[in-house]
Structures are given as C-alpha cells and as structure tokens.
Structure 1
C-alpha cells in the first residue's frame, strides 16, 4: 500500500523501493526489479502485485475499487457500466431505515 501512496504522490523512487521490497520478499534473491515508466504503468504493476499476493483472499475487487479501476481493469465483464459498481442494499437494511434508497441498478 505504500507503493500505492508514493505513486499517488508521483514519487518514482518510493514506488520502486516498495514494489521491489515486496518482490524481494516473495521471490527471493532473483526477483524481477521494478522499472518506473509512468504513474499509470506503476498503478497496473501495483494491482498485479495485489492480485498475485492475495490471489485466494477474494479482495482484489476492493483494491480495484479503491484505485478507481473497477470499470477499467474489468473489460471482460459483460456489463461494466459504472452504475453496477455498487452492490444492492439488502432488504433487511432497507426495512430498518425508510430513508434509504436502493442503488439505481437494483431498483425494481
């Protein structure tokens, strides 16, 4: 996550330091060193490291959402309209608070 923060600050040295730190821990001495190209390329490299590191934890989607790549990175999804990035509000929650409105994609 520190690499992500440094990338947001346009700090290539910080991005490289933390991506390499993760790779060194994961791959040992023969890790592929990270080469900074630009902010977007670094963001995709960070997302790739998240995908590899947390492959079985089911949290990749939340990394995509936090980094605003929900529709960009999921081009294979049939309907990647931004309206579907929100989940429906469950019926029990809706019944407890009459002021809540269902998310647009799930009305009716």
Structure 2
C-alpha cells in the first residue's frame, strides 16, 4: 500500500511517496493533486526515495499533472529515483519533460 505526504507552500508543492505506485496509488496521487491550488503552482516535486516501481497508471497521472502545470508555466521535478525507474523514464522519454534525478 502506498503512503503519501503532500505539502504546498505558495508556488511549490512536494509529494513524498512511500511504496509502489500501482493503480490505486495513482488514483490517490490524482486526488491529492486536485486538492492543491494548481494555478498558483510553479513547481511540483515528487520524492521517489521510497518508490521501487511505478505502473502505467502512475505514469499517466504524472503526464496529466504536467499538462495541468504547463498551462500555467509550472514544471515537475522527480527526485531520488531508483535505477530501474530512471531507466523506464528514459525509455519513455519522460526525461524530456520532467527534471529527473537518481538516488
């Protein structure tokens, strides 16, 4: 089961995620993202320190968040990514739209 801690300070939001991002986890992410004041956000950071797997549903949600943020000039950073997830993001060319850093 995925755990999520979300903080927002004006233009910045941070998602600390514990556990794998599967289908229910992706829905959780979407719900918590929708609770933020999206028009004021300039940057959203996802901390993947405790994530070893992200499924297609999770990747789909990240792309939706990107679309919502990009409309207002915002961006997404994904930090502390495992080697496996980093390679997956590279294959999917997600490193061209997100700022991604490994653990």
Q: Note whether the superposition's TM-score is higher than 0.5.
A: no
Higher strand proportion (structure 1 or 2): 2
Higher helix proportion (structure 1 or 2): 1
What TM-score do you get using the length of structure 2 for normalisation? 0.32
Determine which structure has greater relative contact order: mean sequence separation of CA pairs < 8 Å that are 6+ residues apart, divided by chain length.
2
What TM-score do you get using the length of structure 1 for normalisation? 0.31
